[in-house]
Structure 1
């Protein structure tokens, strides 16, 4: 029995009704008294001191009265370290049911407590800067607004976004980027009162809550002080790093009637500061000018679209022209915003490109599309999934690693992922593009050149690009039967692709006439409203099932009569 108890993680002891130890395992002795010490027959006071006996005695007395006792406490070990322990006192009864003594079990829970404290800390504070995170910021802002409303004063919210911080991360690395964030935090704290709240909301965005504001000019002066502080270079590992900021200011109740409304208006002001050239302060104004308010609202919403689950994918079928069989799908991004409604990709994609938001959005699209393709494969539909890469994504150093991770996480085979890139993207720094394309090809993904014929591809380069498909741009397909030049371009692109052993896909096929012409040129695949508009995932699956039920090929309608 001693062999067993000496090797369990708990500290175990038995005391009789006179508070004398009759047994203690090795862990108990080593913690409280010291290795090798004799404990049998000695009182708690003799071994642990009178103070310990006074603290422990009430619990033991209750246990001797028949009560099971469980509590947490702080105890010092023999080395003098304060440890947190979990103590259980269990009555020991004889054959007649009378309590004769107390079994004590002690667990050292110090590390568990520290881990719990760390988890609690990280739930409310940013791990990099130590500042309150968005969750704690929201709580504090709501309290500040309520308090100032009672007092008849104002709450000022300053939202601060570091200008071009992504470039620092990309050029100097994340480690230096984190040091910059910590240095910015120090600057902010130097310029603010202790009662002011500084929070990091994520990425390069900070917030400052100023309570008991008497006039708007007071908040504006604080913002100007912050800009002045940011004008001085940050010394990071012996080097000067220059960072500027765009600051939006809004006050409650002057500019908003709730903390949520205050955040929204401060965000609009911050984006206005960026539009004004960055490194600026802008106070919220209800009317920023024709069209600008819509754009600012769109940028504000787009920054939150992923976390608010507003983005979704629709899928347009790619169809084999000869067989009419659906061979794959192109993932197309959609955005449903509760305030703006369904936003056209033509409106928000350029904005995402301009602001750099296309990088996280593009990553979301890649992961989501791979996950959907993998789900369809498990249902028996091993379709190729085409995903468009933006110019910024294509230039990312970690593009290949991101693609590999998306495939690994989803379980999708590399050969089922098709990445679409435009010819203008690969002609910009063509040699670098060739290296990237070769790395992607080595992963095993398929590569296609989108919108072919609209840019300025060099044939000498095209032969070197390790691509698998050329996509004929819909602008040429649309006017096939009304414009001889467009028809000639389509014919030339398909002929060129065939000479290079590349497959061809025609975009924007809207009628039978166009499809017949493309079939005559031996184009391999097509997509467009003639077969199907882009569909949500569930409707796309229903389409697959309907075509299968119709005999696999989908009949004349599925093939457009070809």
Structure 2
């Protein structure tokens, strides 16, 4: 063979000896690609005149292609001999009975222990070793080691095939042997030149990637690039190919058919005698099967096999992570334990298949009642757990508990049977009850037991205080639903007056609840409950309809009321809102200029692309839009420029300190100036003193609303006030 090819092979071998034990064989096997041309030349008979055919050489035995009497030894993972064939008896002189059960080290020469270490650590190798026969004779042997796997792919033992080397291989024989080993390797091998072009690949490369040698040679390794890795990772790999040092790791590659697959890769380089890099080689294996097995093991460890829900182990991990975040951000959360009543009777009467199907159906209903970020787990038999990892208010856990109970109301259809299931729920909250997942789960379980003992309680909080608050929340919700259908809700009207003329120029319709036993219920008590439970949709619709009905009634009596402002919840603000408003206006024959719609700043953060089309449609109908509580949330010039808002209302929290508080004065002045520049009407809420009124008037505020002029009053009182021409004294 030419000297240049031999020099390259020697350089590659030297490089391989610098690698660790697992990579030594892989480095040696890289010779195949470099020697393929030489291999073909050596096998080709001389055909041209004057050439002398190369001397014939005996075929070299290759592991895996030996005769039946080739010495073969099998061992368990600890290195103890389990199988000893006739070839091994003939080579070593030990009978099967003498060898089986002994540790393989009894065959080693005294100075060959490092080979044993390599063997036991890496389990696969090809080498020339020194061994000892029963007679004490030391001899050289060609040894091929491989792992034996069970049906599941797990290693269960080792196989050693060897033959005595009577005469050491010639360089040509060794190169052919190495070339054959490379070609037959089950690991993909590619070699690039100094220009990072692929110059050779083996058969396993084609099998793994789908690219033939002709398709790959001349390209760069980017041929296999998946796009999954960032620039820093790619730079690290490329640095290894440029000689920064051997690199081992896992990479996602892409097959010819576009499939992405994980691979274990080793990268190193070959240098010439001057230290210059001539080639880089990559040895890789498709580890998809191992990753899938790892994912299956992970799923078995963390998920319930019946329902597919997280199990107790994963629940604890997720709650622990949430608690760590809660400590930093002062967030609230809750943990629930749900125990199904008489669940075991389903197994007893209908069998295990029916019971399993019932559990699956229950888990699906529970999941549909929760947010995506909430965790639902099955922790034992008919017992589930729910982790609410981030809630705005602690009472929200009670709302979720009622949703979960409601999910069980409809019967379950199992094998032509209708099965009804009840449940009791215990709730612990963090950080109040505890800040470790073990205590939270224990407290929630204790609360669940208490709920079961109470009998009529569907859920119980671990804290007695929280339990009372949850009961109050539920009571308000129940009575609020009843109030909507029994005439307990009514509207009061708070006048708006002009700071130029002192005349009444409008009013805001404010919801009031007249409870038959407790009298007037403060809006601050029931409005949050209505928002949280969704009742605000029904209540908001009633407010708009009642305001339009009242305007129509006034009109019929000859009273031309000033425009009435109606508050909208962000929950009402959907694509169907303009149509619903239009229908109410037409039903009561109310013109759009008689109604103003007040929205809060929290609505604006939902995104202009969602809100602007709805607001534009309402404005096109002739409805004026006012921004309530301006300055308390997400105010910015960007909102005022984008949205068709005609009125800004200064929140009472900025009015109360006027004219003494410097910051309140500055904020009020900024809002008024902003509104004037944008040609918007400015209304100040909560004005209670003459000093506040005069300060706002001097700023240029257009209107005020507050107890200085009038509290919210009944429709009759408002009508009379307007008819009497009551004015605000501006002196």
Q: Structure 2 length normalisation: TM-score? A: 0.39
Within the candidate set 367, 387, 390, 2:569 is matched to 390
Aligned pairs for 1:57-136 (under 5 A) are none
Q: Helix, strand or coil: the match of 2:468?
A: coil
1:407 aligns with 2:585: yes
Aligned pairs for 1:244-263 (under 5 A) are none
CA deviations on 1:273-293 (whole Å, 9 max, x unpaired) are 745374243442499833332
1:560 aligns with 2:726: no
Does structure 2 conserve the Cα–Cα contact (< 8 Å) formed by 1:419 and 1:447?
A: yes
1:284 aligns with 2:456: yes
Q: Describe the shift of the 1:315–1:442 C-alpha distance in structure 2 as closer, same or farther (beyond 3 A).
A: same
Q: Which runs of 5+ in 1 are unaligned?
A: 1-218, 246-270, 548-553
Does structure 2 conserve the Cα–Cα contact (< 8 Å) formed by 1:230 and 1:243?
A: no
Q: Helix, strand or coil: the match of 1:530?
A: coil
Does structure 1 conserve the Cα–Cα contact (< 8 Å) formed by 2:502 and 2:730?
A: no
Considering only aligned residues, what root-mean-square deviation do their CA atoms show, in Å?
3.2
Distance 2:358 2:592 in 1: 46
Aligned pairs for 1:422-437 (under 5 A) are 422-437=600-615
Q: Which runs of 5+ in 2 are unaligned?
A: 1-339, 347-353, 371-395, 406-422, 425-454
CA deviations on 1:415-472 (whole Å, 9 max, x unpaired) are 1110001122113212211111101101110101111111222312311211111111
Does structure 2 conserve the Cα–Cα contact (< 8 Å) formed by 1:233 and 1:243?
A: no
Q: Which has the higher contact order (CA 8 A, sep 6+)?
A: 1
Does structure 1 conserve the Cα–Cα contact (< 8 Å) formed by 2:499 and 2:730?
A: no
Within the candidate set 683, 687, 700, 1:522 is matched to 700
* Aligned residue in 1 for 2:237: none
Distance 2:528 2:490 in 1: 17
* Aligned residue in 2 for 1:536: 714
Aligned pairs for 1:482-521 (under 5 A) are 482-521=660-699
Distance 2:660 2:488 in 1: 40
Does structure 1 conserve the Cα–Cα contact (< 8 Å) formed by 2:540 and 2:568?
A: yes
CA deviations on 1:326-381 (whole Å, 9 max, x unpaired) are 11110000112224432111111111000000000000001101111232234232
Distance 1:279 1:349 in 2: 23
Q: Describe the shift of the 1:224–1:325 C-alpha distance in structure 2 as closer, same or farther (beyond 3 A).
A: farther
* Aligned residue in 2 for 1:184: none
Q: CA deviation at 1:504?
A: 0.7
Q: Helix, strand or coil: the match of 2:502?
A: coil
Q: Describe the shift of the 1:561–1:424 C-alpha distance in structure 2 as closer, same or farther (beyond 3 A).
A: same
Distance 1:505 1:354 in 2: 29
Q: Structure 1 length normalisation: TM-score? A: 0.50
Aligned pairs for 1:455-466 (under 5 A) are 455-466=633-644
Q: Describe the shift of the 1:409–1:456 C-alpha distance in structure 2 as closer, same or farther (beyond 3 A).
A: same
Q: Helix, strand or coil: the match of 2:484?
A: coil
1:322 aligns with 2:491: no
Q: Describe the shift of the 1:342–1:224 C-alpha distance in structure 2 as closer, same or farther (beyond 3 A).
A: farther
CA deviations on 1:16-68 (whole Å, 9 max, x unpaired) are xxxxxxxxxxxxxxxxxxxxxxxxxxxxxxxxxxxxxxxxxxxxxxxxxxxxx
Aligned pairs for 1:301-380 (under 5 A) are 301-378=479-556, 379-380=558-559
Q: Helix, strand or coil: the match of 1:471?
A: strand
Q: Helix, strand or coil: the match of 2:642?
A: coil
Structure having the higher Rg: 2
Q: Describe the shift of the 1:494–1:285 C-alpha distance in structure 2 as closer, same or farther (beyond 3 A).
A: same
CA deviations on 1:61-90 (whole Å, 9 max, x unpaired) are xxxxxxxxxxxxxxxxxxxxxxxxxxxxxx
Does structure 2 conserve the Cα–Cα contact (< 8 Å) formed by 1:427 and 1:457?
A: no
Does structure 2 conserve the Cα–Cα contact (< 8 Å) formed by 1:469 and 1:502?
A: yes
CA deviations on 1:81-122 (whole Å, 9 max, x unpaired) are xxxxxxxxxxxxxxxxxxxxxxxxxxxxxxxxxxxxxxxxxx
Q: Helix, strand or coil: the match of 2:485?
A: coil
